[in-house]
């Protein structure tokens, strides 16, 4: 039986944090190691440029950082194809053809794009590339004939738009070359969404409330020690709250089966009174470090030779180009624009 194709990627606009790890990276490693899947993972630098056109240096720097993040969590270029979007010109070409099948009104209705436009404060100056990025995302997905696209819930509208484009293309050109993908979403709203250390519902670079995969241990400690707990838990003997207390929220996420008893006892003790925040934070630091220390070690190892990291990306991009080129030629044949 042929393998299911998985495609997923990130905009390289900074380093990846624990929210990315819990929300996607950890899961990608699991998927990568299953025989029935073949995975493509890419750095969506062209998509990042749609709202960072004048800050391309951020993107360049992030390419190296995110590649290191990928390698250090265990994404393996001998199992998965890891590549850079801008190095696959076929994607831009596909985008051009798909744009003719999507109305401006449809683009303006995409709820995620709408929210982003409001957040970014473009005003009257929305870059047209930004408005159409869902179409370029459809090109990313369809170029590899991906069946499955593991993404967060905010990406549902992109998958929906991709599916519409596939149906429209196949119908218009009486073909079946394009494959309709399925999104693979987190089980529920909270799964896959790690709150920030300040208690904000979302860990995000712009809120400055993250713990990064590239943080050294001192930095992780500093961030854990500054975590939002229960503001009413002032003296050690006061009873404390578990709900909304980031230390316990993180313990629930990062604790393993063998930690369950300790965590349950700590919760009880904390609620009863007599357990201080410094103690719970020290324990959380231990739990986080168990996960982060090996990642950090691998990162330092890979970072010694960035030339090698970029060669890995180059090889991945070459392999990805082969696949995208094949799809593009099928697309052009279906459209009847294969003249020679």
Binding site for ligand TRP (CB under 6 A): 7-11, 44, 47, 137, 140-141, 149, 151, 155
Closest CB to ligand TRP among 149 and 287? Answer: 149
Closer of 69 and 140 to ligand TRP (Cβ) = 140
The pair of three-digit structure tokens given for residue 96, joined into one six-digit string: 């051009």
**Closer by beta carbon to ligand TRP, 10 or else 90:** 10
What is the dihedral sign for C-alpha 54, 59, 60, 62?
Answer: positive
For 199, phi and psi rounded to 5 degrees?
A: 95, -10
- The closest residue (CB) to ligand TRP is 44
Please say which residue, 141 or 313, places its beta carbon nearer to ligand TRP. 141
Identify the helix (H) or strand (E) that includes residue 23. Answer: none
3-state secondary structure of 311: helix
Q: Which is nearer to ligand TRP, 11 or 52 (CB)?
A: 11
C-alpha span between 149 and 97 (Å, rounded): 22
Q: How far is the CB of 152 from ligand TRP (least distance, A)?
A: 7
Residue among 203, 214, 178, 231 at smallest CA distance from 296: 214
Q: What is the dihedral of CA 263, 268, 270, 275, to 10 degrees?
A: -80
Instruction: Map residue 156 onto helix, strand or coil.
Output: helix
The minimum distance between CB 172 and ligand TRP, in angstroms, equals: 23
> CB of 199: closest distance to ligand TRP in angstroms?
24
∠ CA 227-228-230, rounded to 5°: 135
Q: Cα–Cα distance between 77 and 263 in angstroms, integer?
A: 37
Shortest approach of ligand TRP to residue 11 CB, angstroms?
5
- Taking the complex as a whole, the smallest distance from the CB of residue 35 to ligand TRP amounts, in Å, to 22
Residue 147 or 155 having the CB closest to ligand TRP: 155
Min dist. Cβ of residue 212 to ligand TRP (A): 17
Q: What is the closest distance, in whole angstroms, from the C-beta atom of residue 44 to ligand TRP in the complex?
A: 4
Spatial contact of 65 and 214, defined as CB atoms under 8 Å apart: yes
Smaller CB separation from ligand TRP, 11 or 233? 11
Residue 226's CB is within 10 A of a number of other CB atoms, namely 12
Q: What whole-number distance in Å separates Cα of residue 76 and Cα of residue 30?
A: 11
């Amino acid at each position: 039986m042929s393998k299911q194709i998985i495609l997923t990627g990130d905009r390289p606009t900074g380093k990846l944090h624990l929210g990315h790890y819990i929300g996607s990276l950890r899961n990608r490693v699991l998927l990568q190691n299953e025989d029935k899947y073949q995975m493509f993972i890419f750095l969506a630098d062209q998509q990042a440029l749609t709202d960072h056109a004048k800050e391309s240096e951020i993107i360049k720097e992030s390419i190296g950082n995110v590649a290191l993040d990928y390698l250090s969590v265990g994404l393996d270029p001998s199992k998965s194809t890891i590549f850079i979007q801008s190095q696959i010109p076929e994607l831009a070409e596909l985008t051009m053809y798909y744009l003719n099948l999507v109305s401006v009104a449809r683009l303006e209705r995409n709820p995620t794009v709408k929210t982003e436009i409001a957040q970014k404060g473009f005003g009257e100056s929305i870059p047209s590339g930004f408005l159409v990025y869902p179409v370029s995302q459809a090109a990313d997905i369809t170029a590899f004939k991906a069946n499955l696209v593991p993404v967060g819930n905010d990406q549902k509208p992109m998958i929906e738009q991709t599916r519409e484009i596939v149906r429209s293309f196949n119908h218009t050109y009486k073909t079946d070359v394009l494959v309709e993908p399925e999104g693979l979403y987190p089980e529920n709203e909270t799964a896959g969404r790690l709150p920030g250390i300040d208690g904000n519902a979302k860990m995000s670079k712009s809120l400055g409330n993250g713990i990064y995969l590239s943080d050294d241990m001192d930095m992780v400690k500093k961030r854990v020690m500054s975590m939002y707990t229960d503001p009413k838990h002032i003296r050690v003997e006061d009873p404390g709250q578990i709900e909304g207390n980031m230390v316990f929220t993180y313990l629930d996420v990062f604790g393993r089966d063998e930690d369950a008893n300790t965590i349950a006892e700590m919760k009880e003790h904390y609620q009863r009174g007599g357990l201080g925040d410094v103690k719970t934070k020290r324990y959380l630091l231990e739990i986080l470090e168990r996960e982060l220390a090996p990642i950090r070690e691998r990162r330092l190892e890979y970072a010694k030779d960035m030339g090698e990291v970029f060669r890995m990306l180059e090889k991945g991009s070459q392999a990805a180009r082969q696949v995208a080129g094949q799809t593009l030629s099928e697309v052009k044949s279906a459209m009847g624009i294969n003249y020679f």
